[in-house]
Structure 1
Amino acid sequence: MTKELTGEAEQLASVVGERAGDRGVTVATAESLTSGQIAVHLGAAPGAGSWFSGGAVTYTVEAKQKALGVPEGPVISEQCARAMAEGAARVLGADCAVAVTGVGGPDRQEDQPVGTVFIAIHTPAGTTCEEHHFDGEPAEILDRTTLRALELLAAGLEDAGHA
């Protein structure tokens, strides 16, 4: 991640932390494509020990199914991302969760083109998912996915919680 993008990710993680703390909710991650990159930023945010439950990196289909309860079917899909977010919240005891799955490259996967990404956000209000098609090299796709996931999580937390 470039210095500029790292700064943006740190700022977004701080916003997530402030909102989670203000609303009295906990946050978890479920990552495939990004292999823990989102959790790294959340765990480094101020006060993370009070609101960040933890993360699950589930790269293989079997890991997604066993650890998070992802059903049979394509894992580069909205269904998988939603199941990952809901599974992470359940397994890690969190009120809210973000999940990402997709194709970083260099080759297509499950007949999906490189850059196809699904980002799900689970809050007490429900689970939503966005599909993205990011351009660039694998590292750029991962960075863009991380930033968008943090943006969506911050936005989802705006209305979440007990406050």
Structure 2
Amino acid sequence: MKSPIERLSELATERALTVAVAESLTCGLLASEIGKGENASDWFSGAVVAYQTAVKVQVLGLPDGLDPCSAECASRLARGVRSLLKADIAVATTGVGGPDSEDGHPPGTVFVGWADATGAGAELFHFDGEPDDVLRATVDRALVLLVRVAEKDD
């Protein structure tokens, strides 16, 4: 069975898809994994690491005052990076890695957003463990989501 990055590489190549990511929570870890994909230079448009809210607002078009740990934030970040980098599909990561709660959200609360030509959405996850565990689980789920979006019928 192929890993998610192997499958993403295959789909992107076969379907001539370009991929982009916006990262808050994962702070570049997702882009690093995607860059390991076969022929990534042909299909990986790039990433925006937007850790501070002001960067999310100024660069990715997030409305000021939106909860950074929300489905709406995740889907808007994905739409923003897809538009900015002119990619076919995109995902975004946001949430609370821990070890402490933030703005009323417990550690391990994660949203992974997606965007393609048909729309956008987000999935909520609750991961256990130390911050490194939460980040690794988020990257894994984001890769799986990218594969699902790439597999969608045209």
Task: Assess same fold via TM > 0.5.
Answer: yes
Runs (5+) with no aligned partner, structure 2: none
- Partner Cα separation in structure 2 for residue 68 and residue 160 of structure 1: 27
Of 20, 25, 30, the residue aligned with 1:28 is 20
Equivalent AA in structure 2 for residue 79 of structure 1: E
- Paired residues of 1:123 and 1:160 also in contact (CA < 8 A): no
- Structure 1 unmatched ranges of 5 or more: 1-7
Alignment counterpart, residue 128 of structure 1, candidates 87, 99, 121: 121
The CA deviation at 1:11 is: 2.5
Deviation at 1:23, TM superposition (A): 1.1
| Equivalences for residues 67-106 of structure 1 within 5 A | 67-72=59-64, 73-106=66-99
TM-score in terms of structure 2 length: 0.95
Residue of 25, 32, 41 corresponding to 1:40: 32
Partner of 1:105: helix, strand, or coil?
Answer: coil
Aligned partners of 1:25, 1:33: CA distance in 2, in Å?
25
RMSD of the TM alignment (CA)? 1.5
Identity among equivalent pairs (%): 42
The residue matched to 1:90 in structure 2 has which SS? helix
Q: Is residue 125–residue 160 contact of structure 1 (8 Å, CA) maintained in 2?
A: no
The aligned length equals: 153
CA distance in 2 between partners of 1:160 and 1:88 (Å)? 22
Is the Cα contact below 8 Å between 1:32 and 1:100 reproduced in 2? yes
Q: Deviations over 1:104-145 (max 9, x none)?
A: 011111210000000011112211210111111100000000
